[in-house]
Amino acid sequence: MMHAIRFLGVLALTGLLGAAAAPQARAELTAEQRTQLQETYELIRETGEAFQAGKFPAAGQSLVRAMLRLEAALRDADAETFKTAQPLIVRIERAHAMLQLEGIVLPPFERPELGVQRPSYLDPAEIAAALAEPAAASEPMAASTPEPANRPDRRGKPSGPPKSSEPEMQPEDPSRVSFTRQVAPILISRCGGCHIEQRKGGFTVESFAALMKGPAEGVVVFPGDPVGSRLIETIETGDMPRGGGTVPQAELELLKKWVAAGAAFDGPAPAAPLVAYAARSLAPMNSPTNAPAATPSPTTPMATAADGSETVSFSRQIAPLLVGNCNGCHIDAMQTRGGLRMDSFAQLLRGGTSGPLFEPGSGESSLLVRKLRGMEGDRMPAGGRPPLAEDEIALIRTWIDEGAKLDAASADQPLRVMMTEAWAKNATHEELVARRRELAHKNWQLAAPEEARSSAVEVENDEVLVLGNVPQETAERVATAATAALKKVRTLVPPSNSSGAGASSGAGAKGTFKGRVTLFVFPRRYDYSEFSKMVEQREVPSEWSAHWQYDGVDAYISLVADADDPKTLQARLIAPLTSLALASRGDLPRWLTEGVGRAAATRFAARDFDAPKAWDAALPEAVAAVKSPDQLLDGNLPPEQTDLVGYGIGKMMIDRGARRQFDGLLRNLDQGSPFPEAFTQAFGAPPKEFVAAWFNWYAANQRR
C-alpha cells in the first residue's frame, strides 16, 4: 500500500515526459537517411509542442512537413531503415488523428510499407522545396508564390521581373480571395473529373504545386497576370471544361481576382492534395450554368456525436449498407474511385474529388443520395451491382437529415469493426451466444488437426463453451476451472449491466460475460501454435501456452491443457479471463488489459502456479530495455515485453492504494467514455503522464 501511495504522490508532481528519443543511428543507414529521419523526428517534436500550446494550425503545418520528410526518407529504403522509422510512423499516425479531432484538415497519411512504392504528391525536388518553407507560429500558411524573373509566359516571351512588391495576401482579409476556401473548390468541382481523377492532356490540378507547375507545354497560372494565364483564357473562351460543362461567371471572376492579386496560397502544404483539405462546394462537376456560385463554400461536416434522439444509427444501419455495397471501389480498395475512401467515418466525411458526400440536415440534395439514385453522373454502386432499394436510400437520407451523427467512439475506426461492435452491443445474450458458437465451430474446422475436426469434444455451461481435441474429462475440468476462476475475476472486474459502449454483460446474460466465452483446448503446444497460425495469422511467442482474443464480437481463450491439476488450471485461467473482462468494456490498450490480467493472477493464485515468479524475475530487464514510455504507449514493444511492463503497471493499479481509481476507470468505461477520457477522470492524469510517472517510480525503487 505504501508503494501505491508513494507512486500516486510522484504522479501528482510529475508532468509530461519529454518526447521519445530520436532515432538511433544504425550502421546500415546512410548519412542522408539518418539526417532525414532526424529531421522527421524534430518536426514531430515541433508538432507536439505546438499541440500542447493549443496552436493547432501550426501543429498541422509541422506534421505535414514531417509527413513529406518521412516520405523522402523512406523512398527506396531497405528493411533496416523501415524498422528504424517505425516509432516515427506511429507518432505521425497518432498526431494525425489527434489534430483531425481538433478540426485541422490534413492530407491523408498512409502507413508506408516496405517494397510498396505509392505515387508521391511531389517529385523529390518539390518535396525539398515544400520542406524548406518555414511553418507559421500559430496560423495557417499564407504565402504567395512569386513568379521567377524572366520565366517565359505561355507565348514563350519573358515575363519580366517578379511582381512581389505587393503586400502579401492574408486569407482572413474578407476582400481577398482564399485559395483553400474559394479557388480549390472551383478546381475540384469544375476540373476534377479530367484533371484530378485523370491527367488528361498531361495536366493535373491535384495540388497547388501541380497547378502552378502546369503541363509539359508550359505554365498556366502567372501570378498577377490573369490575361496571360492560360487557365483563365481557356475558361473564358469556353474551351474548358470539356464535356458540356461551364464555369459560372461568379466563379470565373473569383479565379481572375485570385490570379490578379498574386495567386497566393493559404493551405497546409503546396504538395497536399486539394481534396484532402479544401473547403469544397456541393456543386457537382459539369453542372449547369445556373449552379450556385461557390462563395463562400461550406466546410466539410465534422463528426457530431449522437445524442439518442436519432431514429437511424450510423454504426448499426448505415455502416453495414456502405460496407455491403461500396466494397472494392471505396472500401478495402486497392485503387479508390473518384478519390473517395470510405474505410472509416473520417474518410467518409472527407469526400472525394466531386466534393463532400453530404451536408448534415440536407439529405435529399446530398451528393451521396443523388449518386445512389442515379441523378448525378453514374449511378452508384457501379460495376454492375444492383442499385440500393428505395427504403435503403431513404434510410441514408434520414440519417443525413438528422445531422449525419456518429454513434461510435472514434471516427477513425474501420467501418467493418464499427458495425460488428455495434451489432454485438445491441444483440441479446442468446443472439451473441449463437454467433460465438457459430464462430467457434468455424475456427475449429479451419485450424484443428485433421483427425479432430469431426470429433471435437464439446462442453458448455452458462459461463463458457469448451471445444477441443482433448479427453472429455479434460474438457469438463477446464469448464469447471474457468467457472471457478470467474468467481474471483468478478471481485476485481464485475459484470457491467449498463447500456454504455463498454457493457460486458446485458439482458439475458446468466454469467459473467454477455455471450459467454469460448475456450479452445489442445493437448499439445504444436496444436495450439498451429491454431494461432491458421486463425490469427500469427506466430505466438515460444513461451506462451495460453492467450486470449477479442474483436468486438468473438471472445475466446486458446490454451494447452493436459495434466494440469484443478488449482493450477484455475490459476492459469484467471489472467486471460480478467483481460477479456476488461477488453469487452471498450477499445483499451494491450498493456492495460494484459497487465491487469497478469496482476490479477498474481493476486489471486500466485501460490498455485509458477508464472508470477517468472514475471517478477523478468520485469526489471523488460523495463530497463524501454528507452521511452512512448514505446509502450505507441505499441512499439514486442508483445512479451509489453505484457511484462503492463504487468508491473497493473500490479500498481489494482493495489489497495489505487483500487478506488481503478474502480472509477471501470465505471467511466461502463458509462461509454473513451479510454483516454475515462482514465484521466479516474486517475487524475492522462495515461501518458501516469505511465511516465510509473517508470520514474519504478526506477527510483530499483535503486534502493
User: Which residues fall within 8 angstroms of residue 360, CB to CB, at 6 or more apart?
Assistant: 301, 304, 400, 403, 404, 405
The pLDDT tens digits of the residues spanning 504-526 come to: 555 455 667 888 999 999 999 99
**What are the beta bridge partners of residue 457?**
468
Output the nine-digit C-alpha cell for 187: 478546381
Neighbouring CB atoms inside 10 A of 614's CB total: 12
Q: What is the pLDDT of residue 333?
A: 62
Fill in the DSSP letter of residue 501.
T
290 has pLDDT over 80: no
The pLDDT tens digits of the residues spanning 269-279 come to: 677 667 656 54
User: Which residues fall within 8 angstroms of residue 337, CB to CB, at 6 or more apart?
Assistant: 329, 330, 382
Over residues 674-692, the mean pLDDT reads: 92
* Long-range contact pairs involving 612-620 (C-beta distance under 8 Å, separation at least 24): 615/644, 615/647, 618/644, 619/644, 619/645, 619/647, 619/648, 620/702
540 has pLDDT over 80: yes
13 has pLDDT over 70: no
Q: Provide the pLDDT confidence category of residue 226 given band limits of 50, 70 and 90.
A: confident
For the chain, what percentages of helix, strand and coil (3-state, to nearest 5) are there? 50, 5, 45
Over residues 658-674, the mean pLDDT reads: 90
Q: Provide the pLDDT confidence category of residue 548 given band limits of 50, 70 and 90.
A: very high
Q: What is the pLDDT of residue 519?
A: 97
Supply angle C-alpha 503, 482, 551, rounded to 5. 40
SS3 annotation, 173-212 = CCCCCCHHHHHHHHHHHHHHHHHCCCCHHHCCCCEHHHHH
* Long-range contact pairs involving 161-167 (C-beta distance under 8 Å, separation at least 24): 163/223, 163/224, 163/225, 163/262, 164/262, 166/224, 166/261, 166/262
100 has pLDDT over 50: yes
Over residues 21-28, the mean pLDDT reads: 47
Q: What is the pLDDT of residue 70?
A: 85
Over residues 252-263, the mean pLDDT reads: 90
Which residue matches cell numbers 452491443? 425
Over residues 233-245, the mean pLDDT reads: 76
Contact predicate 628/20, CB 8 Å: yes
Contact predicate 362/400, CB 8 Å: yes
Task: Give the separation between CA 637 and CA 627, rounded to whole angstroms.
Answer: 10
532 has pLDDT over 70: yes
366 has pLDDT over 60: yes
Q: Average the pLDDT over each of 278-282, 338-342, 447-451 and give the range with the smallest value.
A: 278-282
570 has pLDDT over 60: yes
Q: Provide the pLDDT confidence category of residue 347 given band limits of 50, 70 and 90.
A: confident
Amino acid at 386: P
Q: What is the pLDDT of residue 654?
A: 93
Helical (H) or strand (E) element with 559:
strand 555-560
Task: Give the separation between CA 698 and CA 7, rounded to whole angstroms.
Answer: 9
Over residues 194-207, the mean pLDDT reads: 74
Which residue matches cell numbers 530499483? 702
What's the mean per-residue pLDDT of the chain? 78
Task: Give the separation between CA 282 and CA 366, rounded to whole angstroms.
Answer: 8
Enumerate the domain spans of the chain.
27-131, 179-277, 314-420, 427-586, 588-704
Q: Provide the pLDDT confidence category of residue 293 given band limits of 50, 70 and 90.
A: very low
**Closest CA relative to residue 493, chosen from 588, 635, 615, 425:** 588
Q: Provide the pLDDT confidence category of residue 163 given band limits of 50, 70 and 90.
A: very low
% of the chain surpassing 70 pLDDT = 77
% of the chain surpassing 90 pLDDT = 30
Q: What is the pLDDT of residue 276?
A: 57
268 has pLDDT over 70: no
Q: Average the pLDDT over each of 281-295, 425-439, 460-474, 569-583 and give the range with the smallest value.
A: 281-295
SS3 annotation, 102-164 = CCCCCCCCCCCCCCCCCCCCCCHHHHHHHHCCCCCCCCCCCECCCCCCCCECCCCCECCCCCC
Q: What is the pLDDT of residue 143?
A: 35
Q: What is the pLDDT of residue 278?
A: 57
Q: What is the pLDDT of residue 496?
A: 75
**What are the beta bridge partners of residue 296?**
none
Neighbouring CB atoms inside 10 A of 334's CB total: 5
Q: What is the pLDDT of residue 498?
A: 45
- Give the alpha-carbon dihedral of 241, 247, 253, 258, to 10 degrees: -50
Over residues 48-59, the mean pLDDT reads: 80
**What are the beta bridge partners of residue 590?**
none
Task: Give the separation between CA 45 and CA 568, rounded to whole angstroms.
Answer: 48
Which residue matches cell numbers 501454435? 529
Task: Give the separation between CA 412 and CA 361, rounded to whole angstroms.
Answer: 22
- The larger pLDDT score, comparing residue 134 to residue 184, is at 184
Q: Provide the pLDDT confidence category of residue 284 given band limits of 50, 70 and 90.
A: very low
Which segment, 195-199, 330-334, 693-697, is predicted with the most confidence on average? 693-697
- Give the alpha-carbon dihedral of 271, 295, 355, 369, to 10 degrees: 170
**Closest CA relative to residue 185, chosen from 199, 200, 205, 171:** 205
Helix, strand, or coil (residue 521)? strand
Q: What is the pLDDT of residue 491?
A: 94
As a CATH number, domain 427-586 is 3.40.30.160
Output the nine-digit C-alpha cell for 50: 505546438
Q: Average the pLDDT over each of 211-225, 361-375, 580-594, 620-634 and give the range with the smallest value.
A: 211-225
- The larger pLDDT score, comparing residue 547 to residue 296, is at 547
Q: What is the pLDDT of residue 485?
A: 95
Contact predicate 471/443, CB 8 Å: no
285 has pLDDT over 70: no
**Closest CA relative to residue 618, chosen from 579, 578, 637, 645:** 645
Contact predicate 484/530, CB 8 Å: no
Q: What is the pLDDT of residue 17?
A: 30
Provide the CB-side half-sphere exposure for 471 (13 A, CA): 5
Over residues 181-206, the mean pLDDT reads: 77
Which segment, 112-126, 245-259, 653-667, is predicted with the most confidence on average? 653-667
Q: What is the pLDDT of residue 497?
A: 58
Fill in the DSSP letter of residue 315.
I
Quick check: pTM over 0.85? no
Read out DSSP for 48-67? HHHHHTT-HHHHHHHHHHHH
Q: What is the pLDDT of residue 159?
A: 41
User: Which residues fall within 8 angstroms of residue 57, CB to CB, at 6 or more apart?
Assistant: 104, 136, 138, 139, 140
